[in-house]
Amino acid sequence: MLRIKKYICSILALVLVIGCFGMPTLAQNVGVEGYLPELIREADEFKLIENGDRKSIAYIVQDNIKIYVEWDRHTNEVQLVETNMLTRSVTNNTNFTMEISENIEASYTMELNDQIYHVNNSKIESRTAMTLVLLLGQTLIDYLISIAATLTIGDMLCTLAKDVIDELSNKKNKFKHYRAFLQKFYADDGKNIAIHKLYIGDPLADTNVAAVYLLEGNVWSTSQKNAKAVAAKASPPGTELKPHPPHKWAFFGDEYYPHYHRYNYDGGNPHKEHSFYGESIPH
């Protein structure tokens, strides 16, 4: 998958840092207002259908024109479909492959209505006659690329942990605990070996709230001390807590995220939920 540059990750981290202040959520059309491009915010309709490790799929509707984009992140192959909403007929269905630079800028050539269009470094060639279809398509593609370090889980925009941990661990950050999600993926090598990836979601207000959430979900905290406090709050008083030692199923590709577990009241067995903390450890 794309390696997202630091400035993209900073924006995503900012979304997480300010997430508890009543800003719109993904349930409102992936809507942290100001993060969506203006053309998408003002469209008649917009929906992010899938934002996974393999594919990103979305559509936008404006002036009875629907543009559907499906992007394969592994191959950078794109399908763009234009539909006339009045006649419900497909007027364009084109496929092309993008090249994406280290600055997260896309270059590609696509054919629409028997015309060839060139986009270089996310800029439409100046000599190109601008059309609504071209503008909507290019904007939608750029948006999908910009959130390539994220995953949509339920109504929440979650970010790959390793891309935002530095920003979230900043001492100026008000929040110390966040919802965390483990997602299982399989490599395209035919070996059917699962790799877990850790994603960070919405912030949790304080240790008490985080401990309640740990009863049924995973939590990531900015430090070992904070993670231990969450696990302690969710465990019987006086429970001796130690970081869980590295174990095979908990490796995330080439990385391991240290964590605590909460414990039962009836024998001390650790629960499957994790109280993660800090940065990953290579193995």
Between CA 108 and CA 85 the distance in angstroms is 26
DSSP E strand stretches across the chain:
45-51, 55-62, 65-72, 77-84, 89-97, 99-100, 106-112, 115-120, 123-124, 150-153, 156-160, 177-186, 194-204, 218-221, 251-252, 255-256, 259-260, 275-277, 281-282
Taking 80 as the threshold, does the pLDDT of residue 183 lie above it? no
Taking 60 as the threshold, does the pLDDT of residue 6 lie above it? no
Taking 80 as the threshold, does the pLDDT of residue 184 lie above it? no
Taking 80 as the threshold, does the pLDDT of residue 18 lie above it? no
> What pLDDT score does 236 carry?
87
Tens digit of pLDDT for each residue in 81-135? 999 999 999 999 999 999 887 667 789 999 888 888 888 877 887 666 678 888 8
pTM for the full predicted model: 0.63
> What pLDDT score does 181 carry?
87
Q: Domain locations in the chain?
A: 31-146, 157-282
Least confident range from 159-173, 201-215, 237-251: namely 237-251
> What pLDDT score does 187 carry?
55
Taking 70 as the threshold, does the pLDDT of residue 196 lie above it? yes
